C-alpha cells in the first residue's frame, strides 16, 4: 500500500491563472516564480507548461533549482534570485540577482576569466529589509556597471507587505524605487528592466508593475490576501493543487469513546469514525487536530482528535449511510460543490497558504499532472 497523500496538479489551471496575470499587467514582461519546486507543484512540469505559455523569464531561488530546469531541457532565461554563484551562473547561462558589490566583483572576475559577458539584475532594498543594496545605491550601481564581463539588464526590489490593507508602506517603497529609477537615468545609465511586483502587488498596486512582474502564488491559483473580503479583489483564480488520500478503515464506536492520542475528542453519540491515510509526516500538520475538515462524498466532515504521524480520524456519522471504504478523501481542493482552499487550511494552521502548498507538495508521496 502506498503511504499518504496524492497531490494532483492541474496545469490547465496554471495556464488560466497566467492569462489573468497577463490581463492585469498587459505591458509588463512575466517573470514566473518557480522557486521551492514551484511552490510544491513540481518545477520541471510547471516550468515546461509556463514556457509553452510564453512567459518571458522563469525565476528560482538557488542555482541548483535552475540546474534542474536546464537538465530537463528548459532553455528560457532563468533569474536566480538569491544565489549568484559565478560558476553555476556561467555554466548554466543564468541571470543572477546581484545583492552587493562583493558578489558583483567575484562574478566579474569569473566572467573575464571565461571571456563571457553576463547579464545581471541588481537588487535594491527599498524596505524589505532582507537583501539588496542599501545606502549609496546609485554610487554602487555605477561602480558595478563599470565592472568588466557583466552588464546590468535589470534593477529590482521586493515588497515587505504589499498584501497589507494599509498600502502606505508599499507606496513608499514604490516611490523610493521610482526615485532611484530617475536618478539612474540622470546618471546616464540605461537599464532595460525595472521590476518589483509580487502577486499581491500585481493584484492591488498597478503602479508597481513597471517593466516586468514576478508572480508566484497567484500563478498557482491562490490569493495572497488572507481574507479576500478585506480587498475588493474577486479574481477568478483556479487553485492548481489538490491533495487527496483514502480511507484506511471505517469504525463504529459507541457514545463516550475517546479518539486518538491525548483523548482530546470524546464521541457524544454512537459514531462512525473514518481513519484516513494522512498525518503530519505528510504535511497535514498537528494544528489540524480537531480543527479542519476533509471532503468525502461531496460533504465536509470534521477531523476529530489529534492528527497522528501517518493517520488522522474524521467523523463520518452524518454520512454513515453513504460512505464506503473506497471513497476518495479530499484534503484540499474540490469535490462536488464543496471546496477547501489553501487559504482556509492556512488560516486554521495559523500560517500562510505559501507554507501549506510547499509542505503538501514536498511531502506528497505521489504527484499526478492533469493537462
Ligand X SMILES: *Cc1c(COP(=O)(O)O)cnc(C)c1O
Catalytic residues: 35, 261
Is residue 158 a contact point for ligand X (CB under 6 A)? Answer: yes
Q: Work out which of 34, 46, 81, 240 binds ligand X, going by CB under 6 A.
A: 81
Is residue 217 a contact point for ligand X (CB under 6 A)? Answer: yes
Q: Which window, 175-183, 211-219, 271-279, 324-332, contacts ligand X (CB under 6 A)?
A: 211-219
Enter the C-alpha cell of residue 141: 550601481
> Residue count at the site for ligand X (CB under 6 A)?
11
Q: Which window, 100-108, 174-182, 215-223, 326-334, contacts ligand X (CB under 6 A)?
A: 215-223
Burial of 300 (0-12, 13-18, 19+ CB in 10 A): middle
- State which residue, 209 or 214, has the beta carbon closest to ligand X: 214
Enter the C-alpha cell of residue 195: 521590476
**96 vs 79, 142, 208, 368, CA distance in Å?**
6, 18, 22, 32
Q: Work out which of 4, 224, 274, 361 binds ligand X, going by CB under 6 A.
A: 224
Q: Work out which of 28, 43, 126, 199 binds ligand X, going by CB under 6 A.
A: 199
Is residue 33 a contact point for ligand X (CB under 6 A)? Answer: yes
Is residue 221 a contact point for ligand X (CB under 6 A)? Answer: no
Q: Which residue has the cell 478585506?
A: 230
Tell me the three state secondary structure of residue 78.
strand
β-strand pairing of 118-123 with 258-259:
unpaired
Write each residue from 34 to 53 as x if it is in contact with ligand X (CB under 6 A), else as -, in one continuous string.
-x------------------
Is residue 63 a contact point for ligand X (CB under 6 A)? Answer: no
Enter the C-alpha cell of residue 229: 473580503
Q: Which window, 87-95, 214-222, 262-270, 275-283, contacts ligand X (CB under 6 A)?
A: 214-222
Q: Give the span between the Cα atoms of 187 and 192, in whole angstroms.
A: 15
Q: Quick check: 79 and 59 in contact, CB under 8 A?
A: yes
Q: Which residue has the cell 524605487?
A: 177
Q: Give the span between the Cα atoms of 14 and 8, in whole angstroms.
A: 13
Beta carbon of residue 161, minimum distance to ligand X (angstroms, whole number): 11
Tell me the three state secondary structure of residue 318.
helix
Q: Which residues bind ligand X (CB under 6 A)?
A: 33, 35, 81, 158, 198-199, 214-217, 224
Amino acid at each position: 500500500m502506498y503511504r499518504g497523500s496524492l497531490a494532483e496538479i492541474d496545469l490547465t489551471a496554471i495556464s488560466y491563472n497566467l492569462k489573468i496575470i497577463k490581463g492585469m499587467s498587459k505591458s509588463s514582461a512575466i517573470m514566473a516564480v518557480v522557486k521551492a519546486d514551484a511552490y510544491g507543484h513540481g518545477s520541471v512540469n510547471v516550468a515546461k507548461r509556463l514556457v509553452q505559455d510564453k512567459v518571458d523569464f522563469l525565476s528560482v531561488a538557488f542555482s541548483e533549482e535552475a540546474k534542474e530546469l536546464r537538465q530537463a531541457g528548459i532553455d528560457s532565461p532563468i533569474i536566480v534570485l538569491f544565489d549568484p554563484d559565478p560558476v553555476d551562473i556561467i555554466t548554466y547561462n543564468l541571470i543572477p540577482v546581484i545583492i552587493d558589490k562583493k558578489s558583483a566583483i567575484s562574478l566579474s572576475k569569473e566572467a573575464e576569466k571565461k571571456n563571457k559577458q553576463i547579464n545581471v539584475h541588481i537588487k535594491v532594498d527599498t524596505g524589505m529589509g532582507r537583501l539588496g543594496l542599501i545606502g549609496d545605491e546609485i554610487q554602487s550601481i555605477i561602480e558595478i556597471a563599470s565592472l568588466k564581463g557583466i552588464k546590468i539588464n535589470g534593477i529590482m526590489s521586493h515588497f515587505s507587505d504589499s498584501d497589507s490593507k494599509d498600502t502606505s508602506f508599499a507606496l513608499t517603497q514604490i516611490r523610493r524605487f521610482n526615485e532611484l529609477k530617475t536618478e539612474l537615468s540622470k546618471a546616464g545609465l540605461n537599464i532595460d528592466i525595472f521590476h518589483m511586483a509580487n502577486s499581491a502587488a500585481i493584484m492591488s498596486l498597478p503602479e508597481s508593475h513597471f517593466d516586468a512582474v514576478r508572480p508566484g502564488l497567484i500563478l498557482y491559483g491562490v490569493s495572497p490576501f488572507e481574507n479576500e473580503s478585506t480587498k475588493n479583489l474577486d479574481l477568478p483564480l483556479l487553485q492548481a493543487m489538490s491533495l487527496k488520500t483514502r480511507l484506511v478503515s471505517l469504525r463504529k464506536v459507541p457514545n463516550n469513546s475517546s479518539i486518538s492520542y491525548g483523548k482530546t475528542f470524546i464521541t457524544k453519540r454512537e459514531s462512525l469514525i473514518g481513519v484516513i491515510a494522512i498525518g503530519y509526516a505528510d504535511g497535514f500538520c498537528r494544528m489540524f487536530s480537531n480543527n479542519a475538515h476533509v471532503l468525502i462524498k461531496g460533504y465536509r466532515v470534521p477531523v476529530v482528535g489529534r492528527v497522528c504521524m501517518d493517520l488522522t480520524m474524521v467523523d463520518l456519522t452524518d454520512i454513515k449511510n453513504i460512505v464506503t471504504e473506497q471513497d476518495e478523501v479530499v484534503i484540499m481542493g474540490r469535490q462536488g460543490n464543496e471546496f477547501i482552499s489553501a487559504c482556509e487550511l492556512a488560516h486554521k494552521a495559523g500560517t500562510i497558504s505559501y507554507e501549506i502548498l510547499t509542505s503538501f507538495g514536498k511531502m506528497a508521496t505521489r504527484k499526478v499532472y492533469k493537462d
